Structures are given as structure tokens and as C-alpha cells.
Amino acid sequence: MIPDGSSQASNKISKKPTYSRFTQQDLPAWKPILTPALVIATLVCLAIIFIPIGLFSLSASKNVVEVVDRYDDACIPSPNQKVGYIKDPATNKTCIRSITIPKKMRKPIYVYYQLDNFYQNHRRYVKSRSDRQLWNPKAESRTTQCDPEGQTGDGKPIVPCGLVAWSLFNDTYMLSKNDAALPINKKDIAWRSDRIHKFGENIYPKNFQNGTLIGGGKLDESIPMNQQEDLMVWMRTAALPTFRKLYGKIETDLEANEKITVTIQNNYNTYSFHGKKKLVVSTATWIGGKNDFIGRMYMAVGGTSLVFAIIFSLLYVFKPRPLGNPSYLSWNKNNTI
């Protein structure tokens, strides 16, 4: 604690900081400066990348053939009693719709159902599930996250528990072309990773939709979870309130102007929250479905870059400023102008 004054003169180790390029902040460094060449090159590069990608996306989106049929209103006999109709288990909810293929569609053709105004991303909804229970038979009673759809009234665990599973979409579609059935392949519509690692093969639905308040679809209790692909698709909760989910695939090409008859079992209640239901038949490209936004956005960004590249070129030509000229320093300006 007490420094020794007398020994200061002799054998005192120098405290001079040892030299290293790091401690003296002399490390080599790249010091980029926004020179005119660099600025213009950057902007031109952006334009060169963005405009072609934009064009490609637009053309890809244009090539997508998509048929959308909204059926929620049409499949209700009287518009005043929507909710009563859909909630009545006794009525026959079969509904026949017809769609026309506008352009030739090449296989695989995807069949989606689309819901509007359905907030599958709601905080309380998203959390109301038990992923462990879906995989591990021993964890079937881990349902605390699922309340109030965790247990039946007498305390038995519900498998699969939670609001997500409870609200399972249960409309069904049957397609026919020229009175011949057009098969929809419902195999492998869920992710492979879900089938193999997320939904167990020894788990069977239990006590599902047995309560007083029935949500959506029921599940066949004899089929193990890893084959309940509709449930898997449903439980990949959608990010946005307007979403599509894969219903199945059509493995044949469809020609232009072909009429397709759709037999819908209109079971799912979107009427109480003013949701829409749509059937979508679509092909797919690298850009996904039909969506011009990406193409337009890329064109806009690329175009802006190009415009600024031109503006800056003109600026550098007509109002040049020599780089690093000390006469531009503020304290020199006053005197040299």
C-alpha cells in the first residue's frame, strides 16, 4: 500500500507502455473515401443488379396461373343467418362451385385454402400449444400452456391440446373435371421435418374436440400424429392475417378454359369474425405465387440508383470539388474567397 520512496531511483521498472501496433492504434486500416468514381460505380452496380432481378420477378409472377374462388358467402343459403347456419351441426353444408382455368396449368398444381382476417399470429393463440406433447407419448400431460384447451372437464389431457389444434380448419374440397373426379393428393403436404421430428408416430389424438365448445375439425383417433398432415400444416401458424395453407396437389396438367367443379363441405366458421374463405388453385415459380410487389420494388430501387448515378455524375462534372483541398477547410474559406 505504501510506495517505497527510497528505492525509486534505482531498480524501478519502467512503466512505459510497451509498443505494439494495437495499443498505439497504428494497425493498418482501410480508409475508404466516397470518391466520385466509387459513388457512381456503387450506384450503377445496384442498378445493374436490381433492374434485371426486378424484370425476372415480374415475368415470373406473370407466368403464375392462379384461380381464386371466394366461397364463404356463396355457400350460405341466407345471408342473415350465417353464424346460426354454420353452427348447426345438423344441416348439410355441401356446396358446389365451379371454376374455369384461364390458362394452361402445368403440374404440379397446388390447391390452397385461403383465410382472410384470421389472426393466427395472435400472441395468445400462437402460444396455446404443446410441442412436447406432440412428439413424446410420455409428455402428453404437459398441457399447461394450452389452457383452457389443455384438459377435458374431468382432467384428462387433450391431445393435441391448445387453441391452435382446436381451431383446425375443416372444410374439404372434392374436384371433378367433366364429371370425372380430379384427385387431390394430400400426401406430403406437410414439411418433412414435421413428419419426422415434430409429430410422433406413437401418439394418437385423444379427447380432442370433446368439450362443450367445439372449435374446428376433429381428428381420426386411429391415425398417429405423424400422419395427420392437415394438422401439421395448420399448426405451422401463419405469419400474416391473410394466409394460404396447402390443401393438396393436383398431379395432372390442366388446360385452358377447362371447367372444374368443386364440392365443398363448408364446415369452418369464419362468419363470426367476418373472415373470408377462398379456394386457390395455383402453379408456382421461383418467386412463389402471383405477386408483383417484389418485381416493382426492385425496379424502383434499381431505377432510383440509376437516377442518382446520373445526378451525381452531372454534379461531379459541373460542380466539381477537388478532394482534400485544404482551401475548403472552414477556417481558410473566410480568407480565400
Partner 1 sequence: MMKGSQQQWPLLVPPPRTPGKEELPIDIDSSIPVSSMSKPYSDSQIEMSGDFVRNPSSHSIQSKSSSTHSIKGVSFREGHDLNPVSYGSRGASLGSNPVRYGSRGASSGGFTSSYKEINDEDARLVYVNDPGRTNQQRFKFAGNSIRTSKYSILTFLPRNLFEQFHRIAYIYFLVIAILNQLPQLAVFGREASILPLAMVLFVTAVKDAYEDYRRHRSDRIENNRLASVLVNGEYEDKKWKDICVGEVIKVSGNQTLPCDMVLLSTSDATGVAYVQTTNLDGESNLKTRYAKQETQMRTPVVGNIGGLLIKCEKPNRNIYGFQANMEIDGKRISLGPSNIILRGCELKNTDWVVGVAVYAGKETKAMLNNAGAPSKRSRLEKRMNKEIIILSIFLVALCTVVSICHGAWLRRHREELYLMQFYRKYDYSEPEVKKYEYYGWGMEIFFVFLMSVIVFQVMIPISLYISVELVRIGQAYFMIRDDRMFDKSTNSRFQCRALNINEDLGQIKYVFSDKTGTLTENKMEFQCASVGGVDYDNGKDISTEDWQTGYSVQVDGMVLRPKMTVKLDQDLLNLSKMEHTNEGKHVYDFLVALAACNTIVPLTVETSDPAIKLIEYQGESPDEQALAYAAASYGFMLVERSSGHIVIDIQGKRQRFNVLGLHEFDSDRKRMSVIVGCPDQTVKVFVKGADTTMFKVIDKSLNLNMVNATESHLHSYSSKGLRTLVIGMRELSTSEFEQWQSSYESASTALMGRAKLLRKVANNVENNLKLLGASGIEDKLQQGVPEAIESLRTAGIKVWVLTGDKQETAISIGYSSKLLTSKMTQIVINNNSKDSCRKNLDDALQLYKKLSNVSHSNDGGHGAGTNQLALIIDGTSLVYILETELEEKLFELASKCTAVLCCRVAPLQKAGIVALIKNRTDDMTLAIGDGANDVSMIQKADVGIGISGQEGRQAVMASDFSMVIYTSLPTIVVGILDKDLGRGTLLQYPQLYGAGQRGESYNGKLFWVTILDTMWQSVAAFFIPLAAYWDSTVGVSALGDLWILAVVILVNIHLAMDVIRWYTITHIAIWGSILATFICVMIIDALPFLPGYWAFFMIAKTKLFWVCLLGIVVAGMVPRFVVKVFVQHCKPNDIHIAREAEKFGNLRETNAETEMNPISDLPRSTATATT
User: Quick check: 138 binds partner 1 (CB under 8 A)?
Assistant: no
Smallest distance, partner 1 to C-beta of residue 183, A = 21
Residue with the three cell numbers 353452427: 87
Q: What is the CA radius of gyration of the chain?
A: 33
Please say which residue, 185 or 257, places its beta carbon nearer to partner 1: 185
Q: Is residue 16 a contact residue for partner 1 (CB under 8 A)?
A: yes
Q: What residues contact 169, with CB distance under 8 A and at least 6 apart?
A: 113, 115, 216, 217, 230, 234, 245, 268
Nearer to partner 1 by Cβ, of 41 and 181: the residue is: 41
3-class secondary structure, 233: helix
Smallest gap from Cβ 239 to partner 1, in A, equals 4
Q: Which residues of 166-191 are buried (b: 16+ CB within 10 A; e: fewer)?
A: bbbbbbbbebebeeeebebebeebbe
Q: Is 100 in the site for partner 1 (CB under 8 A)?
A: no
Q: With contacts defined by CB under 8 A, name the span among 88-96, 100-108, 161-169, 260-268 that binds partner 1.
A: 161-169
44 binds partner 1 (CB under 8 A): no
Of positions 157, 160, 205, 215, contacts partner 1 by CB under 8 A: 215
Chain residues 311-330 in contact with partner 1, contact rule CB under 8 A? 312, 315-316, 319, 321, 323-330
Q: Count CA atoms within 13 Å of residue 247 on its CB side.
A: 24
Stretch that binds partner 1, among 94-102, 112-120, 171-179, 252-260 (CB under 8 A): 112-120
Query: Could you say which residues in the range 259-278 bind partner 1, by CB under 8 A?
Result: 272-273
Nearer to partner 1, 257 or 328 (CB): 328
**Residue 183 near partner 1 by CB under 8 A:** no
Positions in 70-89 near partner 1 (CB under 8 A): none
Only one residue has cell 531511483, namely 9
How long, in residues, is the chain?
A: 337
Among 7, 98, 178, 334, binds partner 1 (CB under 8 A): 334
C-beta of residue 247 within 8 angstroms of C-beta of residue 190: no
Residue 214 near residue 168, CB atoms below 8 Å: no
Nearest Cα residue to 277 out of 286, 269, 289, 285: 269
- Regarding 108 and contact with partner 1 (CB under 8 A), the answer is no
Burial of 106 (0-12, 13-18, 19+ CB in 10 A): exposed
Name which of residues 220 to 249 contact partner 1 (CB under 8 A). Answer: 235-240, 242-246
Number of residues counted as binding partner 1 (CB under 8 A)? 106
Ranges of beta strands (E only) in 154-219 are: 172-177, 180-182
**Binding status of residue 64 toward partner 1 by CB under 8 A:** no
The answer to whether residue 253 forms part of the interface with partner 1 (CB under 8 A) is no
| 289 makes contact with partner 1 (CB under 8 A) | yes
Residue from 58, 95, 126, 306 binding partner 1 (CB under 8 A): 126
| Three-state DSSP state, 334 | helix
3-state secondary structure of 216: coil
With contacts defined by CB under 8 A, name the span among 72-80, 169-177, 252-260, 301-309 that binds partner 1.
301-309
Q: In this structure, what C-alpha cell is assigned to residue 47?
A: 442498378
Least distance in angstroms from the C-beta of 333 to partner 1:
8
φ, ψ of residue 245 in degrees (nearest 5):
-135, 145
